[in-house]
Amino acid sequence: MPRTMSYKTRITQITIVPEGEPIYSEGATRIEIDDDGGGEFVVVSQDKGKIMIDPDEWRPLCEAINKMISECKVSK
21 pLDDT above the threshold of 80: yes
- Cα separation of 11 and 6, whole Å? 17
Domain count along the chain: 1
Residue 8 has a pLDDT of 96
- Cα separation of 60 and 69, whole Å? 14
Residue 66: give the domain boundaries. 13-71
Give a yes or no: residue 3 inside a domain.
no
Residue 57 has a pLDDT of 92
Give a yes or no: residue 30 inside a domain.
yes
Residue 75 has a pLDDT of 66
Give a yes or no: residue 55 inside a domain.
yes
- Cα separation of 14 and 28, whole Å? 10
Give a yes or no: residue 44 inside a domain.
yes
pLDDT confidence tier of residue 2, bands split at 50, 70 and 90: confident
Residue 38 half-sphere exposure toward CB, CA atoms < 13 A = 7
- Cα separation of 17 and 24, whole Å? 9
- pLDDT one-digit tens code per residue, 24-76: 998 899 999 999 999 999 999 998 899 999 999 999 999 999 998 888 887 66
